[in-house]
Amino acid sequence: MKTKFIQLDCNNIDNKKIIEAAEILKQGGLVAFPTETVYGLGADGLNEEASGKIYAAKGRPSDNPLILHISSMKALDALTAGDCTLGRKLAEAFWPGPLTLIFKKSNLVPLTTTGGLDTVAIRMPAHPIAFELIRQAGLYIAAPSANASGRPSPTTAKHVIEDMDGRIDMILDGGSADIGLESTIVDVSADIPIILRPGYITLEDIIGITGEAEYDKGLLQKPESEDFKPKAPGMKYKHYAPRGQLTIYEGESKAVVRAINQAAEKKLKEGYRVGIIATDETLLSYEKGLIKTIGTRKDEKTIAAGLFKILRDFDGEQADYIYSESFYDNHLGQAIMNRLLKAAGYHIEKV
């Protein structure tokens, strides 16, 4: 299949191109598009054949459900069942935005979309291209991250081309995704909101609206433990993995730098290619290897936005070993470390 590549200006969106992309979706095709979190791979979420193509293009396990993307609150009436008061409160506070809500599903939603679950994940994205595309198509768009399953999520159209060229109908390029981490997922199908995947919208943000919320207990377990049964099926898969082996160093900054320098020196001597994930603050303290900064600790948003890109960059440089600092700071720390730990297969050195 030849993949059509289209560039769009977010500040002046060419409506003809959006209509062309919307037509592909209406005919059951696949279109990758930018959102404020990461690039999504879209298809008609109620058309089982179309959403089946998403699983095939990504190599995604069929029990990993898809998020339906909407452009109007009215969609909640059609897609959900039961009492949605809790979810609507959060939707009103954070939509359009980087928050996915899990509701009891209506009969309209096929079980192939929800991986056999009786709940459905729904998000209204804020990115103008995503929003316009969904609106023009007049559909509920299933759109997981537009990466090959297991690889780091794409934050630029170039990343999407790497994984999806020749496998999908169209890629819309709208520049870099602002946030760079996937949406926060909150289950609102019971009485208390449960965070199934941490993201840009934090536990504190949710509690600010609903008065209470907690993390899914399964999420906090390590995958090797017996109790590791996260409620979001996707959270159990190895994810985000760069091709090289990633190790995260935890501890006081100077000790971390020293330990990473030692580990890098050793592997370089053995003839391996070594990548180091530094910050603007520590960049000059590293001595040898492929040294890259992920962002600045003065603004943790830059670290979130740089994470998947730096993992892909080290793939491009064929790093065999990658050493990273840890980023537990402030309010995005949970979301950043959730991705980084998975990328590292929970390989941690405490120093």
Does residue 100 bind Mg ion (CB under 5 A)?
A: no
- One-character DSSP codes across 139-150: S-EE--BSS-TT
- Strand 214-215 and strand 4-7: the pairing is unpaired
Measured between alpha carbons, how far is 217 from 241 in angstroms, rounded to an integer?
23
Binds 65: which of ligand AMP, Mg ion, none (CB < 5-8 Å by kind): ligand AMP
Q: Which stretch binds ligand AMP (CB under 6 A): 161-169, 232-240, 264-272, 342-350?
A: 232-240
Query: 129 with 173: CB under 8 angstroms?
Result: no
Q: Per DSSP, what are the bridge partners of residue 68? A: 122, 142
DSSP string, 281-345: TTGGG--SSEEEE---TT-HHHHHHHHHHHHHHHHHTT-SEEEE-----TTTHHHHHHHHHHHTT
Is 180 near ligand AMP (CB under 6 A)? no
Window contacting ligand AMP (CB under 6 A); options: 75-83, 114-122, 158-166, 221-229: 114-122
Is residue 334 at the binding interface for Mg ion, with CB under 5 A as the rule? Answer: no
Residues near 45 by beta carbon (within 8 Å), at least 6 away in sequence? 51, 66, 68, 69, 109, 113, 139, 140, 141, 142
From the list 143-151, 165-173, 215-223, 244-252, the region that binds Mg ion by CB under 5 A is 143-151
Closest contact distance (angstroms) between CB of 63 and Mg ion is: 14
User: Does residue 182 interact with ligand AMP by CB under 6 A?
Assistant: yes
For residue 186, list its beta bridge partners: 101, 195
Binding-site size, ligand AMP (CB under 6 A): 20
Q: Which does 120 bind (CB under 5 to 8 A by kind): Mg ion, ligand AMP, none?
A: ligand AMP
User: Which is nearer to Mg ion, 145 or 326 (by Cβ)?
Assistant: 145
In sequence order, what E strands does 77-202 have? 99-104, 119-123, 141-142, 170-173, 184-187, 194-197
User: Does 338 engage in binding with ligand AMP (CB under 6 A)?
Assistant: no
Q: Of 47, 71, 112, 114, which one interacts with ligand AMP (CB under 6 A)?
A: 114
Q: Describe the crossing of helices 157-164 and 300-316 by its angle, rounded to 10 degrees.
A: 40
**Minimal distance, residue 177 CB to Mg ion, in Å:** 13
Nearby residues of 77 by Cβ (< 8 Å), 6 or more positions away:
none
Interface with ligand AMP, residue 177, by CB under 6 A: no
* Residue 162 beta carbon to Mg ion: minimum distance, rounded to whole angstroms: 15
Closest contact distance (angstroms) between CB of 293 and ligand AMP is 26
How many degrees, rounded to 5, is the angle at CA 90 between CA 298 and CA 98? 45
Total residues belonging to the chain: 351
- CB environment 314-348: b (16+ within 10 A), e (fewer): bbeeebebbbbbbbeeeebbbbbbbbbbbbbeeee
Task: Report the site for Mg ion in 144-203 (rule: CB under 5 A).
Answer: 145
Among 171-179, 216-224, 230-238, 325-333, the segment contacting ligand AMP (CB under 6 A): 230-238
Residue 233 interacting entry, from ligand AMP, Mg ion, none, C-beta within 5 to 8 Å by type: ligand AMP
- Tell me which of 29, 34, 42, 65 binds ligand AMP, using CB under 6 A: 65
Residue 289 binding partner per list ligand AMP, Mg ion, none, with a CB distance cut-off of 5 to 8 Å that depends on partner kind: none
| Footprint of ligand AMP (CB under 6 A) | 64-65, 67, 102, 114, 117, 119-121, 144-145, 182, 185, 196-197, 231-235
| Footprint of Mg ion (CB under 5 A) | 145
